[in-house]
Each structure stands twice: as C-alpha cells, then as structure tokens.
Amino acid sequence: MSRKSDTNLLTERSLFLFKSLVEHFIQDGLPVGSRTLARDTRLDLSPATIRNIMADLEDLGLLSSPHTSAGRVPTIKGYRLFVDSLLRVNALDEGEIKRIAREMDPEQDVKNLMEKTSSALSEITRLASVVTLPRIEGRSLQHVEFMSLSENRILVILVVNNKEIQNRIINTARVYSPAELQQATNFLNEKFAGKSLDTIREEIVEELERMKNNVNRQMQMAIEMAQKAFAGGEHREDYVMAGHTNLMDVAELSDVEKLKKLFDSFNQKRDILHLLEQSIHARGVQIFIGEESGYEVLDQCSIVTSPYEVDGKIMGVLGVIGPTRMEYQRVIPIVDITAKMLGSALNSH
C-alpha cells in the first residue's frame, strides 16, 4: 500500500475504471471481473493490471468481492462516490416528460393528482414510487361551508388553496337550524377566508378566551363549531405509493421473506415516512443508499427523493425506491423533473 498507494490510488485512470465497473454492475447485476473490464474499456490494459487497480480500490473500501473467485461489486461507499462525483446524468427523454405532463391535469383533485403522479413515476422508472400528500400546514383557507346531514351531524367542507377539498363530519350536542348554519358559514368565511389554517387555529383559541365575556350568541356558536371543524385531526402525514410489484422483478429481492418485510413496512408507513421527512428540508434530489437509510428492510435498496414546492415553499416529497443497483443516471433526472412538474401543477390556479 504505502508509497504505491499514494501516487496510484486516486488517479484518473482508477476512477475511470471504477466508474466503468459500477456501470457494468448496474447494467447486469453480476460481479464484474478483470477480464470483462479489460475487454470493454477503451483503456488498453491487461487483466492483470486491472486486477492490481481493483485491489487498490478494494483497499479504499469502494469495492468488495462476494467471494474469492467472483468479480467485484461496489460497496455502499462506492455507490456514494459514484453518485456524488462520477455520475453523468442522462438527458431526459422528451416522451417521458410529455408522459408525466399528461397525467398531471391540474384540474383534478389533489389526492388524485398525487396518485397519478405516483403511478406515472413508477411506470417510467419501473420501480416503486412514493409521493407524500402536500402538507396542509401553512396553506390558506379559501372557503368553509356547513351543511346539515341529520339531527346532530354536520358536514364541514373546507376548500384549501383553491384545489384541495376536505370533508369532515362533526357531531354536535344540539340541533342547529339551516339559518344558524348559514350564519355561522358567513361569519367564519368573513373572518377566516384567506388565512392559513395555523393562524385560524390560533385565532380560534384567542376567540374562545375572549368569548367568556361576550354575549353575542351567534358568534359564540360559530366559533364553537369552527373549533370542532378545524380541530387537530388534519391531514395526518400520509403518502401514496405505486408500482410495488416492480420490485418483485429485481433479483436482489427475490427472496419472498425479504419482500414481505419490505411491503409490510410500506403499509405501516411509519419508517418510510420518517425517512422521507429527512429529505423534506434538503433542496433538490437526495439519495439514500442501502444501509444509509438506517432501516434494515431497506438494506438492499436505494431511495431517490426530491421535495416539491409551491411558491418556494416545500409542500411534500416524492421519490422512488429500488435496488441499490438502480440506473441512477436515468432515475435521478426523472425524479427531479417530476418534483418540479408536480410543484407547478399544484401551483396553477
């Protein structure tokens, strides 16, 4: 190692070789040997030389061999180097962009938009995809409406940011007349329309306080209803997924046990959600490779995420989940553009 290493290990040549090896491995998933590399590389070197270089790369922790007499595969650290410094991202296929754009009809309702986006993303990448629903916090109320369903059940309709419609049903202690509901509707719209839900909740608390001395029955009633209508619950953090089954094709996960664990964690959502949260504050594409994610089930997987934003505010995250040996150069730009397009689809109107 010593002297030799210092002059040799990080040469352009060895990096080039490393890159070729990773690309090879990504393509067909088989450990790559010196012969293969010697043959398919414009460098005119004998397998023996390449073996030397590969040994050096292994010392650096970038490669490892599954067993003595197999070729080499990239380690997590190797992938990291690859995606951070070596990767040249593909130009995007026009057709694919069009394809995504087509699904993103901004006329549809938000949940639907997310589902369409997710399934487009998974079909194009041929991997599993995930899209978190946009955070409702910080979004502004456009309109609220009460509608009587039966004796003491009232339907509340919240229109948020022009696009998203939420229905909630609240139970009331007494029966309200249509006129009363109408009054409450008018009052609350006048008072709260245009404000963010956060603000509204705060103001409701203040009003409740002030109310103690107030005698206006109408207002009192309206605020009480508002309290129920806007109460906690909220769109709890959630996401939609698509294309699970794409993962069943990848050889690394061909073990049913492993797959089941993975799918189960998708259903439970907790771990995945936590992971996505980490990337919500990063700007641009972020990549978790294998164990880096910190979740055992994702051992053999990489996750490529990007937050999507509206008016410069991050509203959520989307991404794809696939084997560590996914085609990063293809997937990364797709995730990137999809996030941007989703942001602007949410933005229009």
Partner DNA sequence: TTTTTGCACTCTCATATCGAGAGTGCTAAA
Partner DNA sequence: TTTAGCACTCTCGATATGAGAGTGCAAAAA
Instruction: Tell me which residues in 258-277 interact with a copy of itself (CB under 8 A).
Output: 259-260, 263-264, 267
Distance CA 131, CA 187 (A): 36
Please say which residue, 216 or 254, places its beta carbon nearer to DNA.
254
Distance CA 254, CA 94 (A): 33
Among 46, 171, 186, 218, binds a copy of itself (CB under 8 A): 171
Binding site for DNA (CB under 7 A): 4, 7-8, 31-36, 44-49, 51-52, 54-55, 58, 65, 67-72
Which of a copy of itself, DNA, none sits in contact with 183, Cβ below 5 to 8 A by type?
Answer: none
Instruction: Say how many residues touch a copy of itself, by CB under 8 A.
Output: 31
Q: Return the exposure string of 33-66: e unless at least 16 CB atoms fall within 10 Å of the residue's CB, then b.
A: bbebbbeeeeeebeeeebbbbbebbeebebbbee
Report the interhelical angle of 110-125 vs 328-347 (nearest 10°): 160
Length of the chain: 349
Among 44, 209, 256, 312, binds a copy of itself (CB under 8 A): 256
With a CB cutoff of 8 Å and minimum separation 6, the contacts of 108 are 116
Please say which residue, 206 or 249, places its beta carbon nearer to a copy of itself.
249
In whole angstroms, how close is the CB of 275 to DNA at the nearest point? 31
Q: Is 175 exposed, middle or buried (0-12, 13-18, 19+ CB in 10 A)?
A: exposed
Please say which residue, 225 or 289, places its beta carbon nearer to a copy of itself.
225
Among 4, 13, 102, 153, binds a copy of itself (CB under 8 A): 153
Dihedral (Cα; 40, 42, 44, 50), 10-degree rounding = -50
List the x/- string, 87-116, binding to a copy of itself by CB under 8 A. Answer: --------------------xxx-------
